[in-house]
Structure 1
């Protein structure tokens, strides 16, 4: 990643400081313990921030694996270029209007919780468009309230173009203005507000998490999942495990249990009962190894030791490295989580083409007399979606796995 112009960095730092002060004033109090229960229905509603997440599935995976086995329905209603008035959801059939489409889509999703991420598109209107935005956001919250659902509001994210610092400064100033308005409305309406502008801005200075300086890439969505977890009051990491090897025995702390130890031959067997599955790292995700489960084993004799489970080699490290703690970034638990993620992506693809069919005008609109027979096929996709959701819930429970640490000979 090439170095940003000095003036650009200064401008971003000043805006981040000012924005943080506003957030401290307007953010509502902690919402308390966040939990998803059986039969909850979660909707992601907004612009490309959510629609692009359909490519990666990290947000849904993080919330799915947190409460394994629960039947929670997720619906992604993100629409690139959309605003609080639903103007990107246009159709050749008019009426209904784009706004009516938005209201219908929210209603049909039957939400119990809606993550709302707007403001990025509207901020292009600057201060002149702020009152229209807040009016639309207020009506959107009214609609969600009328459905008996909870609302969590997200800020927009910054843009990080490097070669046009003056333009970017103005654009980000408008984004922070709209984010502040969202935070203020959240406080006034008793809704939770999550600032994702500041953490995305800060982390993007260290790692390339934005494509073309505008949209989050795979690394960005992995990071966003951890930001949401933190703001929802959820520990983003499985509990760390520490094992102390002594002359005659070994003791474990955390979700681990010693099954067998042989100090003479320096071998160790133990099980780990994890509360939830870890998120599989994206490609080139070395910057996020701190977000992975940590295993610390002290008291080993000098040398190298290999950790295995289910006949699979996980990692080899020196006694000194084990004593300091080793990040576990692969293994059966990651494979299981990756399989769930793949099912989430397939399920969301099925839903996307169900509620946004390519030939909507011909299947559901004013020309349905030509291809309206295909509407039945759209309805039948619900069977596939329901089956995939059942598989996701069934396979999201972590397994108690037996691990063995052996010296490299």
Structure 2
């Protein structure tokens, strides 16, 4: 099928147009691509062929120059791309610049500056509290409803979908063990998340306000925050996650621009506590996104977490992580935290799905409490689009291999 003739209902039609970076096998040259159906358009070559002023931004080996160009340019480039793939007069020029998705190699689409991860799902936080603090009067920590809890991760181990994940080793100590032991994690987990990609930087010492979210954040992608629960449990008292998280974070090869998700904007859950002014979004545009996520292990769906249930929004997370004056850099990535809904099959981690290993999952290839070597985890998602369409998010997948 010609690349322009996208089937009706395809979640990667001209209403979507996510950005990535690709290369053709046998070459070392990487360039920005835009996905249309099951093809990739060489965006830089298209811009050059059509005499576009955006060729210098799109004929690059990474999205960072486009990210840094700012919101006005993001919107202008998107309008141009939409015209290029929908106006019939461009077909003859652009058709040779499309490549079947199956014929290209996809790369990490942007150079990651800093990486921050949050803890924004009330369902997830309550589940974790009930698992580890079953006798507590409240399963949430006292600060949870007052601020988006987060931690700084390791940007250098953010990897693109399809990259194998080596089972990490580290110290672990079971409650009954007299001393810690060292070895491969035996409680390797996933966390289904959404990552937000920062384009426009900010100045050191100047917080970013809630209303400036869309001026700084370019788009979003699916994210798997791999977690070694046994390593994490031993190391995180009194500080936060470290080696139990920093070995790998997988992201999609495709970044969906926020402009493609206008129809998916929804109000977050009702606030139960009064918020400080810098987090109070009562008078802001709806900050939530209606993203329908699916998590599969070895091709078998185990969970369908709804992103619309997230208590803290991406705009609040951005405001909080800069309120102390910390500056943004082009390519900053921040994760939403595990996405979990109220139902059992809406939990976004194996920790919750198996209740810390107490209730194993029944899979076609055997029971699972945590991941085994050879397991392939795949996350996919879609959001409501214009006129009843669906906006597909690029999947993120990773296979566990022995260390």
Taking structure 1 as the reference length, what is the TM-score of the superposition? 0.22
Taking structure 2 as the reference length, what is the TM-score of the superposition? 0.22
Q: Which structure shows the bigger proportion of residues in strand conformation?
A: 2
Q: Which structure shows the bigger proportion of residues in helix conformation?
A: 1
**Structure of larger gyration radius:** 1
The structure with higher relative contact order (CA 8 Å, sep 6+) is: 2
